[in-house]
Structure 1
Amino acid sequence: MAAEPHHHAQPELPPRVFSRTAVIASCAAFVLIGALQAFYGPAIPGLRPRFGLSPAAAGLALSAHFAGGVAGVLLFDRIYGRVGNRIVLAGSHLLMAAGAAGFALAPSWPPALACALIAGLGFGGIDYGLNQLFAVAFGNRSTAMLNILNAHFGIGAILGPVLVGAVGAQHYTVVFWAFALACLPLAFCLSGVRDTPREPAGSTATGARTRSLAAVLGVFVLLYVLHVGIEAGVGGWEPTHLETIGYGAGLAATATSVYWLMMTLGRFLVAPLALRYSAQQIIAVACTGMTACLLLASIRPLAPFAYAGVGLFIAPIFPTGLPWLNRAAPRARAAGALVIAASMVGGVAAGPVLGSAIEQAGIRSVPLILGAVSVGCLAATVWLVRAAKEA
């Protein structure tokens, strides 16, 4: 991948939106939302006896969380640019705190689900709000900063199950209470966040000049839905696939943890590369590598290592795509909200859709089915690259 030097005129520096303290607080907020998303699954053994739930019913907590997340993204997109950034982010933190505390206190299952939905609203507001602001606030460094920001989400997702395991699933309420308390100081550490226009100043519609805006947005949404489906699919099916092809349960679980760890590490590693290579180059290489690793995962001796490679290559796609989207469709008012909401929908839909396909084809087909989805990601990326070149 050859470097793409920036010989064109230096763009005007964007207004300073985040102080150093606000950047640190933003990364801490992403650790929290990563942990929140990861709490629900490990808490199921504690939820079931408390509320008398079946496994499927207990799993509705995560579904309520994602439903709230999608609603939060779309809701806060409506008020983003009309209400100050500090108010939007502080409100999101307070919603997460209230939802988490309510989930811990809920006397029965319906109120608990309602509280998971409320926490999800705050989750969506922070996920959308900070991703959108980082995408426009750092100029040429936005891609690097977004990868660093989203790497902290991965740290939280790794720590979440560890915390629940440390206190015991039967004491999950302690974890949710601690989470609620951790949200409160961050809600009041936002004095260093300033307001910024909805669209980055001076942007040009690189793809929308020759392709309809709807087509560009549609392909970005497709890319996000497919790659998040792969992310969730590997996380959910890797241990079962590895056990099916002869690996022990312990090794399969460890390999899956390594997959998530590599995804987090990959975002930190891409941050300096994003200062030298374009978003298009990074995502094209990422999709190619992800596809190759998924195909290699069908070879038994290579499977655990190949899945780790999938984590490394899939890592930069989500954060790197957002600045590219802002350049490709700067006049699309809700472009960022659409793709972030689509990523959440992709995570929810991956379970039943992939599960049905795998049930028909057999567990050994997992990497091949996910590889076919990855080919779709690569095709979407090639289309977007060509659209930009033709502009």
Structure 2
Amino acid sequence: MTVTSAPPHPRVFSPAAVVASCAGFVLIGALQALYGPAIPAFRGEFGLSPSAAGLALSAHFVGGVAGVLLFDRLHGSGRVGNRRILGASYLLMALGAAGFALAPTWPAALAMALLAGLGFGGIDYGLNQLFAVGFGHRSTAMLNILNAHFGIGAILGPALIGAVGSAHYPAVFLGFALANLPLLLCLRGVHDRAPQTPGTATQTSRETSAVTTSGSSSEGSTERSSDTYRGQVLARSLGSVLAMFVALYVLHVGIEAGVGGWEPTHLETVGYGAGAAATATSVYWLMMTVGPFLAAPIALRFSAQAIITVSCAGMTGCLLLATVPELAPYAYAGVGLFIAPIFPTGLPWLNRAAPRARRAGAVVIAASMVGGVVAGPALGKAIEWSGIRAVPLVLAGISALCLAVTLRLIRGTRTR
């Protein structure tokens, strides 16, 4: 028997393109985080109510969902290469940020926020998808490193606004727009055609073999009927798996947004001062940034299923500990550490579990953005019914559901 080694994995990114991609994630993390600290200046300049000022981030997320779906459509058509799509996304984000800084009216500013969000969504989905298939067995580790840089940007953006003052937000947005342009020069290091999603080639060869055997058999009609039935069962199975991944992403993004939004209020309610509560919330976001860096080497030794299971169990335990006032700030930091690897670690698992569902990545990433928008009002209503002190219990219930979905996914995607 002849043993052959596996062919080397085709390189999708040059070293310079990997660095530029991480810089791109710093920028999209900063962009998303710039709107909130600049709200006082929006309100003063355009005479806005708090809810009207908050529409800037909503417009950004609407554009982000559209950018994810548009990138996926162009990427799947095969007519436009990865370099052109990523380049257009960087340009859209730069134009939108510059337009937002210079907009003379609030409706124009919202239109520019939507345009920037369109580029944001293209970069977010595009780089996540390419990293998920571009590094072979190292893809999970590389995705964690990539997404950790998003957290770095989310910390640096508000710090920059705080340093220069919210009144100078146009200069910050213009500087952000200019920072996108050098990244265009590094797109030459991105392969225009990414390799097939893991499992697709194997599935195709199996189907070809089955059709060939069926055609040469005297009972070809029966075999084809059997293949049709198996195909229908597979389609239903893929639909179920995709639905569970969507649930996993929506739930965990809801927890992430819920802790970030309600931790300060809960800590103040149980006796902490406003300064201590704000500091504890900053530590939570810091742990969200540190978590993927810690998960990257772990991902080289353990499966995505194991990492996500431990993450869901860990954040559930930490949220239960947060019901104890003395432990709450430390428990929330633990939630940030455990929840951080779920998003990047789940994408390679999704690609292996549903290799024939070409749009699976776009669906779950778009769903996660929608989940971030919906989580605020939904959690607010639940907390109205249960009271502020029940915040960690409400979130722990959602986290337990997240763990249940993960365990169901493991059973549903286990290969025989």
For the superposition of Structure 1 and Structure 2, which TM-score range results when normalised by the shorter chain? over 0.9
> Which one is further off, 224-233 or 78-87?
78-87
SS in structure 1 of the partner of residue 101 of structure 2: helix
Contact 2:199 2:352 survives alignment (8 Å): no
Aligned to 1:84: 81
1:264 pairs with 2:259: no
In structure 2, the gaps of 5 or more residues are: 204-232
Match of 1:251 among 270, 273, 276: 276
- Does structure 1 residue 67 correspond to structure 2 residue 92? no
> 2:158 is matched with which residue?
161
**Corresponding residue number in structure 1 for 2:227:** none
Alpha-carbon distance between aligned partners in 1 of 2:153 and 2:6, rounded to the nearest angstrom: 35
167, 170, 173: which one aligns with 1:173: 170
Q: How far apart are 1:390 and its partner, in Å?
A: 5.4
Using the alignment, how far apart are the partners of 1:171 and 1:382 within structure 2? Answer: 48
1:54 counterpart residue number: 49
User: In 1, Cα distance between the equivalents of 2:369 and 2:136?
Assistant: 26
TM-score, with length taken from structure 1: 0.95
CA RMSD of aligned residues (A): 1.6
Q: Deviations over 1:125-169 (max 9, x none)?
A: 000000000000000000000000000000000111101111101
Aligned-partner residue type, residue 35 of structure 2: Y
Q: Cα distance, 1:14 vs. partner?
A: 2.4
Name stretches of at least 5 consecutive residues in structure 1 with no aligned partner: 1-7
Identity %: 73
Aligned with 1:23: secondary structure?
helix
Count of aligned residue pairs for this structure pair? 382
Supply the AA of the counterpart residue of 1:216: V
Give the direction of change, closer, same or farther, for the CA distance of 1:62–1:139 in structure 2 (3 Å limit): same
Say which of 156, 173, 182 aligns to 1:185: 182
The aligned residue for residue 132 of structure 1 is: 129
Between structure 1 and structure 2, the one with the greater Rg is 2
* Alignment of structure 1 residues 1-391 onto 2, 5 Å: 11-81=6-76, 82=78, 83-197=80-194, 199-203=196-200, 212-389=237-414, 391=416
Report the alpha carbon displacement of residue 183 of structure 1 after superposing the two structures with TM. Answer: 0.6
Q: Is the 8 A contact 1:210 1:387 kept in 2?
A: no
- Give the aligned residue type for 2:240: A
Summarize the Cα distance change of 1:210–1:291 in structure 2 as closer, same or farther, 3 Å threshold: farther
Paired AA for residue 322 in structure 1: L
Relative distance call for 1:342 and 1:10 in structure 2 (3 A) is: farther
User: Post-superposition shift, 1:177?
Assistant: 0.4
3-state secondary structure, aligned to 2:168:
helix
Q: Which runs of 4+ in 1 moved over 6 A?
A: none
Q: Contact (CA 8 Å) 1:15, 1:196: kept in 2 or not?
A: no
**Amino acid corresponding to residue 73 of structure 1 in structure 2:** V
Corresponding residue SS for 1:107: coil
